[in-house]
Amino acid sequence: MNRRRFLVGGAAAAVALKAAPALAADEGTLLLGLWRREIGLAMAYGQQVHTRPELFGPARRHANDHAAALATELAAVGLGTPEPPWTPDELDVSAQRLATARPADVMANAVLAQESMLTLYQGALPSLPDAKIAMTAATILASHAQHLFILRRAA
Amino acid sequence: MVTRRALLGAGALLLAGCGPPDEPEVNAAQVWGEQLRAVQRAIASYPASAGMLETRARERLPLLESMAAAAGATPTATTPSLQTALEAERLALQTHVAAVGLLEDRASRELLATLIAAAAEAVSALRLELDEPAIVDAFPGQRNRP
């Protein structure tokens, strides 16, 4: 290897090392988005849990479990967990609609919220490069598929 | 005194040490073969009375057949039953989740996402048929979990 090639190789390595945090930041941003959606869904179920406690109680608990797992993955990529939302105004559209739905519309909005979560994870899975994080997201996807199944049956 | 040659040699060693750790190479065809066999095993485990549940399970086969050229012999279930089908679907779900950790490309992850959703739903549907709670865990598909 001549000196020029060596220097070029070193420069390429330096670029790769600089690119690594950028990749982690993208993954972190994605994880942060998933965390916000899970914590928002948990809050929405909490607002409606009295209407169908047998369905929304476990669903709220699982959304909180998912958010906790995502917070662990956020810490693994060097990011903290933000403050959770306090009011339905701070939620995404599907969670907000579930949180504020009238009794007659609660089940339909719960189905829509779970469909939205399933679509979200199906879109996120190809964009998570870390194997462990991707597998965590995959099991959460499976959980949302199960909740969607029982909500559709009950609707 | 450190010579220029020694410095360059140390730099080369440093760069070599920064490389990724040696990992066993993933054989994608083999991984897809495992996915196909897991789904075939699940389908073979449904009893004749399962009707629509088995039909839903069969819908996953065409998605996999083109990916797994070297899948080997079709597995058979010794005693088809709803309980056997539940166990087979749980294993299929675990197999799909594990494959997410092995295959990074977009097409594989998209297909695995579809398979995971379908297998997870099948697990819940079979549990209901067996008068069991439809959902027992927040992270279905993890190894060593229900």
At residue A91, the pLDDT reads: 94
Mutate: best of A38, A66, A141, A147, partner B, most B CBs <10 A? A141
- End-to-end CA distance of chain B: give it in Å, rounded: 64
- Cβ–Cβ below 8 Å for A66 and B138: yes
pLDDT, tens digit (0-9, with 9 covering 90-100), for B60-117: 998 888 777 655 556 666 689 999 999 999 999 999 999 999 999 999 999 999 999 9
- Cβ–Cβ below 8 Å for B113 and A141: yes
User: Which CATH topology does A22-154 take?
Assistant: Ferritin (1.20.1260)
Q: Where are the domains of chain A?
A: 22-154
A16 or B129: which carries more pLDDT confidence? B129
Q: Where are the domains of chain B?
A: 26-129
Give the chain B residue nearest A125 (alpha carbons).
B109
Nearest CA-CA distance, residue B119 and chain A, Å: 8
Please state the rounded mean pLDDT for residues B4-21: 46
Comparing C-alpha atoms, which of A83, A111, A118, A86 is closest to residue A97? Answer: A111
Please state the rounded mean pLDDT for residues A29-43: 97
User: Which CATH topology does B26-129 take?
Assistant: Ferritin (1.20.1260)
pLDDT band at B24 (very low <50, low <70, confident <90, very high): confident
Structure tokens at B90: 């749980």
pLDDT, tens digit (0-9, with 9 covering 90-100), for A74-121: 999 999 999 999 898 899 999 999 999 999 999 999 999 999 999 999
- Cβ–Cβ below 8 Å for B134 and A125: no
Give the chain B residue nearest A121 (alpha carbons).
B113
Work out the burial of residue B110: count CB atoms within 10 Å of its CB; fewer than 13 is exposed, 13-18 middle, 19 or more buried. middle
- Cβ–Cβ below 8 Å for A146 and B119: no
Nearest CA-CA distance, residue B141 and chain A, Å: 6
Beta carbons of A37 and A82 less than 8 angstroms apart: no
Separation between Cα atoms, residue B43 and residue B48, nearest integer Å: 11
At residue B26, the pLDDT reads: 86
pTM: 0.83
Separation between Cα atoms, residue A63 and residue A69, nearest integer Å: 10
Nearest CA-CA distance, residue B69 and chain A, Å: 23
A11 or A141: which carries more pLDDT confidence? A141
A146 touches chain B (CB under 8 A): yes
pLDDT band at A42 (very low <50, low <70, confident <90, very high): very high
- Cβ–Cβ below 8 Å for A131 and B100: yes
Separation between Cα atoms, residue B18 and residue B139, nearest integer Å: 35
Contacts of A137 in chain B (CB under 8 A): 100
Amino acid at B117: A
